């Protein structure tokens, strides 16, 4: 060690210290709240909203998002988990747990008198080095290797409430992603092209991937319109089939029955002319976008549409339009004068079918179908269904991560232990405080094996010591086999996860810690 330099010890004013300490304490409390959820044997959380709604989840991002957090620094952890959800989609608990451990180390370093800026810079270096180490132990994956992708999805699902269905959900996630991936532009993967329709009734086992499209609403049949259409010509319309409204603040005063009759006739003629134009285009299934301006379709219009034998599905959301037009190969039509045959999509069958407790409209046999996928998710109740939806989202994100960065690493905390060990080695080559901080960073990463074994009911100290020993002996992939309760080679145990999930967790957690460290005052505004 070089002799201690004078300016390396740092004393700050009591108030600044207080603000920093309370920020770190609050953020750590948030991290502790989700710690028990990490890993396959982690606990689930029941989130009770004031309106009586109950959510059961294991997803870090969801837990934090629902938690009422008011302390500004603690809110940063909520945002941290959210950004991990955006970047990687999985690892939302890990990122918060790692951040908590890093903050704890910061506190120790600050108490020893290390300047926050030195801690911050050293952590930044350490995190860059950690990513390098991770890349060096990563294993390339081929998109053709469906089994490897399924293994990665399995790891992500193994910690969820719905983990016993992973043999069904994982292949589904993989197939859905592969179906929407454009081989020519693999990096442009958009998960919005995968439509997940969740429908209560039955069990998750009944979930299926639909070759076609599913709408979560019934066909409009109050006027006796058809609910099944073969050789369908589907029109996706954005205009309304209802009488135009007057401008706001304008009134029409009707003073006698004659005038009322005229208005009624006028309305009927108008609607009839619209329906005629629709019919003339050859359209026999109409998807109508929800309208905020006026009724998208009136009872009278439904009546005429039924008479014209046109099947109607109402309340299509605005943000679904793109997906629908992509899937069906049709164009959204904004005005009735644009109803042209070439804008319609063709499908063999459009049918209202019963699914569980409700009904959905299914479109199958679509001609020139676009690159989209539809998953019909089923579950016995709303809570299970929603968690299944979130879990499937995680699995989809894992596959997306692999598409974006085609490397896998082993799971079960083996990467964290490996990085921790190599960083500790590296810190010995550094000088002064920096070496000290990097070492602290390395130690903080051991929170992952520690927590995983703690949550699995194992002895954390024994496990972490054993892991250190194995990794020092060159067993790069040794990790905690949570199911068997011992240490095994994670690659042989088929526990793999995308490289991107772990690198982004470490990078984002470090970034958040650095941000919290640099804050020395909270300024309230009015």
Give the Cα separation of 301 and 242 in Å (integer).
7
Q: Which residue is nearest to Mg ion (CB)?
A: 90
Q: What is the DSSP letter of 239?
A: S
Q: Is 90 in the site for Mg ion (CB under 5 A)?
A: yes
* Residue 502 beta carbon to ligand ADP: minimum distance, rounded to whole angstroms: 8
* Residue 26 beta carbon to ligand ADP: minimum distance, rounded to whole angstroms: 21
What CA–CA distances, in Å, run from 399 to 60, 166, 440?
19, 14, 33
Q: Is 85 in the site for Mg ion (CB under 5 A)?
A: no
Residue 152 or 442 having the CB closest to ligand ADP: 152
What is the distance, to the nearest Å, from the Cα of residue 483 to the centroid of all Cα atoms in its chain?
A: 26
| Partner in contact with 238, chosen from ligand ADP, Mg ion, none, beta carbon below 5 to 8 Å by kind | none
Which residues are identified as catalytic?
59, 92-93, 394
Residues from 145 through 164 that contact Mg ion (CB under 5 A): 156
**CA-based R_g, the chain, Å:** 29
Q: Is 387 in the site for Mg ion (CB under 5 A)?
A: no
What CA–CA distances, in Å, run from 390 to 152, 156, 169, 177?
16, 11, 12, 16
- Identify the residue whose tokens are 């004078």: 6
Dihedral of the alpha carbons of 158, 479, 446, 438, in degrees to the nearest 10: -120
Residue 456 tokens read as 């699995």
Residue 278 or 505 having the CB closest to Mg ion: 505
Give the Cα separation of 225 and 216 in Å (integer).
18
Q: Is 193 in the site for Mg ion (CB under 5 A)?
A: no
Q: Is 441 in a helix, a strand, or coil?
A: helix
Query: What are the E-state strand segments in 141-206?
Result: 194-200
Output the CA torsion sign for 466, 467, 470, 472: negative
| Partner in contact with 94, chosen from ligand ADP, Mg ion, none, beta carbon below 5 to 8 Å by kind | ligand ADP
Q: Which residue is nearest to ligand ADP (CB)?
A: 411
* Residue 480 beta carbon to ligand ADP: minimum distance, rounded to whole angstroms: 5
Let me know: does 107 contact 24? Beta carbons within 8 Å.
yes
* Residue 173 beta carbon to ligand ADP: minimum distance, rounded to whole angstroms: 14
* Residue 411 beta carbon to ligand ADP: minimum distance, rounded to whole angstroms: 3
Residue 23 or 455 having the CB closest to ligand ADP: 455
Residue 443 or 454 having the CB closest to Mg ion: 454
Residue 90 or 387 having the CB closest to Mg ion: 90
Chain positions contacting ligand ADP, by CB under 6 A: 37-40, 42, 58, 60, 90-94, 155, 158-159, 411-413, 448, 452, 480-483, 495, 497
| Partner in contact with 38, chosen from ligand ADP, Mg ion, none, beta carbon below 5 to 8 Å by kind | ligand ADP
Interacting residue ranges for Mg ion, rule: CB under 5 A? 90, 156
């Amino acid at each position: 060690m070089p002799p201690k330099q004078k300016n390396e010890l740092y004393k700050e004013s009591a108030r600044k210290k207080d603000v920093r300490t309370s920020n770190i304490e609050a953020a750590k409390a948030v991290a502790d709240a989700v710690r028990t959820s990490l890993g396959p044997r982690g606990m689930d959380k029941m989130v009770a909203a004031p309106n009586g709604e109950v959510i059961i989840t294991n997803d870090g991002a969801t837990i934090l998002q629902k938690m009422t957090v008011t302390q500004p620094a603690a809110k940063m952890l909520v945002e941290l988990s959210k950004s991990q959800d955006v970047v990687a989609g999985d690892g939302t608990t890990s990122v918060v747990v790692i951040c908590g451990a890093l903050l704890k180390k910061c506190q120790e370093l600050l108490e020893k008198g290390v300047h926050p800026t030195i801690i911050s810079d050293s952590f930044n270096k350490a995190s860059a080095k950690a990513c390098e180490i991770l890349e060096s132990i990563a294993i390339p994956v081929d998109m053709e290797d469906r089994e490897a992708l399924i293994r990665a999805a399995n790891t992500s699902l193994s910690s969820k409430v719905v983990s016993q269905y992973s043999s069904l959900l994982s292949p589904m996630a993989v197939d859905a992603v592969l179906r929407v991936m454009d081989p020519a532009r693999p990096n442009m993967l958009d998960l919005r092209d995968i439509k997940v329709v969740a429908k209560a009734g039955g069990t998750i086992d009944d979930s299926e991937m639909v070759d076609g499209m599913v709408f979560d609403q019934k066909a409009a049949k109050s006027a006796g319109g058809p609910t099944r259409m073969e050789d369908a010509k589907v029109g996706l319309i954005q205009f309304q089939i209802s009488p135009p409204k007057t401008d706001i603040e304008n009134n029409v005063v009707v003073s006698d029955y004659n005038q009322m009759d005229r208005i009624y006739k006028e309305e009927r003629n108008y609607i009839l002319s619209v329906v005629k134009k629709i019919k003339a285009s050859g359209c026999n299934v109409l998807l109508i976008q929800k309208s905020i301006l006026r009724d998208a379709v009136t009872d009278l219009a439904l009546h005429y549409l039924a008479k014209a034998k046109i099947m109607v599905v109402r309340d299509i959301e605005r943000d679904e339009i793109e997906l629908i037009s992509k899937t069906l190969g049709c164009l959204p039509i904004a005005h009735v004068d644009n109803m042209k045959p070439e804008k319609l999509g063709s499908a063999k069958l459009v049918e209202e079918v019963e699914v569980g407790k409700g009904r959905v409209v299914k479109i199958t046999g679509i001609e020139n179908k676009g690159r989209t996928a539809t998953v019909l998710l089923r579950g016995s109740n709303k809570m299970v269904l929603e968690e299944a939806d979130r879990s499937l989202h995680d699995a989809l994100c894992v596959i997306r991560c692999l598409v974006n960065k085609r490397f896998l690493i082993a799971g079960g905390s083996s990467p964290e232990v490996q990085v921790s060990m190599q960083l500790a080695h590296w810190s010995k080559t550094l000088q002064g405080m920096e070496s000290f901080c990097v070492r602290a960073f390395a130690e903080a990463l051991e929170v992952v094996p520690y927590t995983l074994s703690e949550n699995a009911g194992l002895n954390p100290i024994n496990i972490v010591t054993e892991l250190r020993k194995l990794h020092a002996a060159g067993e790069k992939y040794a990790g905690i086999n949570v199911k068997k309760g011992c240490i095994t080679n994670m690659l042989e145990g088929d526990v793999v996860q995308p490289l991107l999930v772990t690198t982004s967790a470490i990078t984002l957690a470090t970034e958040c810690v650095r941000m919290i460290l640099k804050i020395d005052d909270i300024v309230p505004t009015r």
